[in-house]
Chain A
Amino acid sequence: MTGLLLANALFFAIGAGLLPLLRIAPDRIALLERLPLAYPIGVAATGIIAAHLALIDVPLGLVELVVLAAVILFLGLRRVRGASTSYRLLLAEPLWGRLVGAGALAIALVLLAQAWTTYEIRPLLEWDGWAIWGTKSRALYEFGGATGPVFTSDVYLPLQHPLLLPSLDAIDFRAMGTYDPTLVHVQLALLAFGFLLGFVSLLRDRVPLALVGASALAVVSAEPVLKQLSTSLADVPLAFFVALGLVGAGRWLASGERWALVAGTLFLGAAALTKSEGLFFALAALLALAPFAWSKRLELGLATGAVVAIVLPWRLFVSLRDLPLVEYRFRDAVSPGYLSDHADRVGPAVGGLGGELFSGEWGLLVPLFIAAVAAAVLARHYALAGFAVLWTALAFGGLVLVYWISTIPIDLALVWSGNRTIVTVVVGAAALAPLLAGAAWERRATRAEAAGTR
């Protein structure tokens, strides 16, 4: 366990160095205020680096992590400026509102602590957990890279899953000095903790704490989140990265703060390397921004380029080694003939995924998203509302398209994966809720300030 915690402390150190390096926190005050973001940033960045290094058989262990953290911290801290501008936006939030928010966050932390104690004794139980993800993690640990048969031979199908999550697990095994398929589940609890840290850090100076805390609790307490996270499948980690990416991108859209886009882009890049559909969700986010951020298209173009650059080595690996995608072919998605021949799959796909979307297990996350969109519209933050609705529609539509072109019988495909693939749509949309509703609150705060009440 000590090794795993040490590895995670180094993820934090790497993130702390990246905050100034990537200009997410350009000066000392910003660095202090955004320091909690260092952990999820560090996890995302280290995961990306480790996944790329795995493609050329270079393993990342504790020694390499220490060197990487030292170099990044050194370079990052050298770039920190001494400016003293406070970025805090004054919000007219009553004390009890702040207490509600802090209380909700405290409950969320207690819930994650409970998840930790369960995860640390939970073995790999679910089929895909060991047959796909556990096998990849263990093979990366055993062989140090992804050029061997486990990642390239048809015997080990499916081969199309990207390597960010197994790479993080492999780092943990190397740090622990052994393959421990039970204890490594703690990394999943830490990913959930990282999501909380990132979520709060990206929102807390723009959105009332009551809204941030209540929304964070609503997301992590939804039954599928911690239940599915415990299986070692990549769906919930993907949802966390996409959600943080959306919040960062949404904040940039609402405020024009470039640092938020940089952070969001990194998370979207990590999402693209977590699961194959991660690239689709990430590009859907950038595409959904385009109509509402046309005047800032250069920054948006750079962000899109960064996501593509992050995922490119993996896509080249897949392409050069001709790794098969067994469940569907992308070209069928643009073939009118194929789509027409399989049009009978659309109804069941929409019905099945829609049923998952409105499942009682999610609590009121979908109504929360709808109410938040309404709040943003009332506050005349049409761009933010439009971005959120467009991303959700693209993400849902994209999932329907994947089930449409899948070669697996539709009923079976939905039973096998419908409740998992929908996680990113629900968590992503719900994560945008505080930003959307906060837009209404922000105006109120501004008016209160103008009236001299603060």
Chain B
Amino acid sequence: MTPRVVAVWTCIALALLSSALTLPDTWRWLSEQHTELEELGPADRIQAPGFNNRLPVGGFDFFHANVHRGDSVYVLARPGTTVRGVDFPTGARTFARYYLLPAIVVERPEDATVVVGIGRDPRELGLRYRSELRQDPFYVARIRDPS
């Protein structure tokens, strides 16, 4: 047997050995994930990104029910931190970007058609609102309808 052929067989052996080393852990991880996740219902799966990052998903459901396609949303959030270490206002605004689609999040309240508050009352901003909804500590204050 030439060194070249030995090298080829070594590669086959290494590849099989590599699989033998990693496959059980990968299989176990997939199985554990399956067991853990099959308990979730459809609504849980939608809300999972928020729950997984300890964001107040119930409040965002309240917001989602009261903002619409075409809305520009300003997120007014209390101070604090999230599990990722980012400050809570940033975490809440990031989650709103995803969860409130097709409404759009904006940076300045004057660009918004609606202000949503988490632990802070939109009246703090001194804007004139057409309607205000409250589900403590969450607020939805509408400035105007989407154009």
Contacts and interface: CB of A to CB of B under 8 A. Distances in A.
B101 A118 contact: no
A223 interface: yes
Nearest to B13: A214
A116 to B, nearest CB: 10
A211 B48 contact: no
Interface in A223-259: 223, 225-227, 230
B98 A138 contact: yes
A179 to B, nearest CB: 8
Nearest to B24: A221
A181 B26 contact: no
A361 interface: yes
Contact of B8 (A118, A223, A375): A375
Determine chain A's interface SS by DSSP, over half rule.
helix
Contacts of A142: 69, 101-102
A218 B19 contact: yes
Interface of A: 97, 100, 104, 107, 111, 114-115, 117-118, 121-127, 129-131, 134-135, 138-139, 142-143, 148-150, 153-156, 181-182, 208, 210-211, 214-215, 217-218, 221-223, 225-227, 230, 360-365, 367-368, 371-372, 374-375, 378-379, 433-434, 437-438, 440-441, 443-444
B133 interface: no
B127 interface: no
Closest 10 pairs between A and B when the two form their complex, measured CB to CB: A375-B7, A363-B18, A214-B15, A123-B48, A364-B18, A437-B11, A123-B45, A363-B22, A142-B102, A130-B49
Given A218-B15, A378-B3, 4 more contacts: A130-B98, A210-B12, A211-B11, A437-B12
A211 B15 contact: yes
11 contacts: A104-B19, A114-B27, A123-B40, A123-B45, A182-B45, A225-B26, A364-B17, A364-B18, A371-B7, A372-B11, A441-B8
A311 B32 CA distance: 39
A361 B4 CA distance: 29
Contacts of B40: 121, 123
B130 interface: no
Interface string B124-140: 00000000000000000
B97 A156 contact: yes
Contacts of B22: 218, 221-223, 361-363
Interface string B41-84: 00011101100110000000000000001000000000000001
Contacts of A107: 19, 23
B128 to A, nearest CB: 23
B107 interface: yes
Interface centre among B22, B37, B52 (most CB of A within 10 A): B22
A231 to B, nearest CB: 11
B2 to A, nearest CB: 8
A217 B4 CA distance: 23
Contacts of B38: 121
Nearest to B21: A363
B123 to A, nearest CB: 23
Contacts of B29: 223, 226-227
